[in-house]
Structure 1
Amino acid sequence: MKKNLILTMIFTLLFSTMLLSIGSSTAEAAEMKPVPGSPGWKYRVEGPHVKGTDNDWHVHVEKGRIKGAERLTGGKSHGKTLDSAGVPKKVQKNVKKTKDWKRGLEKQKKLNAERKKLSEHSWYDILLNPWYLVTLAALTGVGISALLNAPRLVFG
């Protein structure tokens, strides 16, 4: 019985790992595209990064040594803006006309709305509402009592 369970777990782990590795990669999103109407210039629109403070949608624009980045809502991204990097205004306007820019801006607006909803509930509000604490305590108690009454379910 235990042997079958272990074999099933190993198969499931290997199968899920295989499926995850076959999926689309993030390298597709990092592909630079030519800026329409601005020969030689390339851009890409990126989503929020997991780490750091650059957690907004932003654009990278470059040509040769000139490399700029800016949040879609304006402001620094990766420590620079398009102006501070020396990207001409005409190129900036052409980038802002692209479909990628507009899609990214819509996604940023949705992200800001979700952040606003989350910020409406502070830890202080949650702790003052006893139902959250009562539910958490009840679930913890049920879990511990089930473990104490039937340890074989967990430990075999």
Structure 2
Amino acid sequence: MNNGFWGCIKVHRSPNSIWLDSEIELFQQISDQISLAITYTTLLEENSEKEIQIKAAEVAKLTKNQILANTSHELRTSLNTMVGILFSFDRSTVTANQSDIIDIMTRTFDIVISIANEIVNTAKLEAQKVTLINRKFDLLELFENTIEEFG
């Protein structure tokens, strides 16, 4: 009923007889066993559905990580090619304005490549395929370099 399980026990006995307590207890035990079987079946169905959902989520996560890795690889390859082409220009044959544009483009490409690398690193972290290295660094120097680079 209502997409659920239910059970019913119907026992017939002549109208002149009396139900013994032991008979009633037996029917109660049978009813309890049927109820347990129904509950067990319901739980099995629910667990099967949840297992399917968990497996689907795992496949989706793996697919997402693979797409991120492939996209990042394609971005890095293209951007590194463009940076290489920019460096191939002989600085002596370009104007100061063109040289400034090349420098801006090179820095921009470096930033986008860095973002693509972060995407790969994030995918690796999620897939638990990254080994973290504990190393010392100078925080003040890091700040100074960052301010100098983006200032």
> Who wins on radius of gyration, i.e. which is larger?
2
**When you count helix as a share of all residues, which structure comes out higher?**
2
TM-score (norm 2): 0.26
Instruction: Give the TM-score normalised by the residue count of structure 1.
Output: 0.26
If asked which structure has higher relative contact order (CA below 8 Å, sep 6+), I would say 2
